[in-house]
């Protein structure tokens, strides 16, 4: 959310000693984060995301489908703009908590907006359980951060898919 909400006035804080500082970040590594709360329940999951007691409903203070405007405001995909920082999305296709299509659509919308965004897909990977692909994921993250935070322009980041067998 922080990656797409920089400069969104309604989401800037109003307390604390650093109100003169921007909340915009320079790069984002998104590990299987929800991109669009309203569509969380559209895909198979181990929980009913539209239920009144789902994590998303609790965040909004009521059921998602009864709080659509709040759900939109709380969704990173809503705030995408072409000046967002580079984003690396990492998600397993077998994630039972946050459906994999969340990262697919989020990445697609970022690219369509002109944001530097890549999706690392972990085939058969779960919610943070990347098995044998963990080392490859760590290298991708390190390369991404080196390129965008250390300005190592010799590094090329590309969309990748890794095979992972969950234990």
Task: Summarize pLDDT for 18-34 with one digit per residue, the tens.
Answer: 888 878 899 999 999 99
Q: Which residues pair with 122 in a beta bridge?
A: 92, 162
87-92 and 28-31 beta bridge pairing:
parallel
Neighbours of 37 (CB within 10 A): 28
With contact defined as beta carbons under 8 Å apart, do 39 and 105 qualify? yes
With contact defined as beta carbons under 8 Å apart, do 13 and 20 qualify? no
With contact defined as beta carbons under 8 Å apart, do 40 and 98 qualify? yes
Q: Which residues contact 58 (CB under 8 A, 6 or more apart)?
A: none
Q: What is the pLDDT of residue 20?
A: 82
Q: What is the pLDDT of residue 11?
A: 75
3-state helix, strand, coil in the chain (%, to 5): 35, 15, 50
Element holding 117 (H helix, E strand): strand 117-123
Task: Summarize pLDDT for 118-159 with one digit per residue, the tens.
Answer: 999 999 999 987 888 999 999 999 999 999 988 766 666 655
- Read off φ and ψ for residue 61, nearest 5 degrees: 85, 15
Confidence label for 165 from pLDDT (cuts 50, 70 and 90): very low
- Give the SS3 label for residue 87: strand
Question: Which of 129, 136, 109, 115 lies closest to 32 in space, CA to CA?
Answer: 129
Question: Which of 77, 61, 71, 112 lies closest to 1 in space, CA to CA?
Answer: 77
Alpha helices in the chain (DSSP H): 55-60, 68-73, 101-112, 134-149
| Domains of the chain: residue spans and CATH | 9-36+75-163 (3.40.50.1820)
Task: Summarize pLDDT for 35-70 with one digit per residue, the tens.
Answer: 999 999 999 999 999 999 999 999 999 999 999 999
């Amino acid at each position: 959310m922080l990656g797409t909400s920089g400069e969104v006035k309604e989401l800037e804080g109003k307390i604390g000693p650093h109100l003169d500082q921007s909340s915009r970040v320079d790069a984002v590594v998104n590990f299987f984060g929800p991109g669009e709360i309203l569509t969380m329940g559209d895909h198979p999951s181990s929980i009913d995301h539209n239920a009144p007691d789902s994590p998303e409903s609790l965040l909004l203070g009521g059921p998602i489908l009864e709080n659509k405007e709040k759900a939109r405001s709380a969704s990173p995909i809503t705030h995408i703009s072409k000046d967002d920082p580079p984003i690396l999305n990492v998600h397993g296709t077998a994630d039972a908590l946050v459906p994999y299509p969340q990262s697919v659509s989020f990445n697609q919308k970022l690219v369509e907006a002109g944001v530097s965004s890549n999706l690392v897909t972990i085939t058969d990977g779960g919610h943070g359980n990347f098995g044998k692909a963990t080392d490859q994921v760590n290298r991708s993250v390190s390369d991404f951060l080196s390129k965008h935070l250390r300005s190592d322009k010799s590094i090329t980041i590309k969309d990748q898919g890794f095979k992972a067998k969950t234990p």
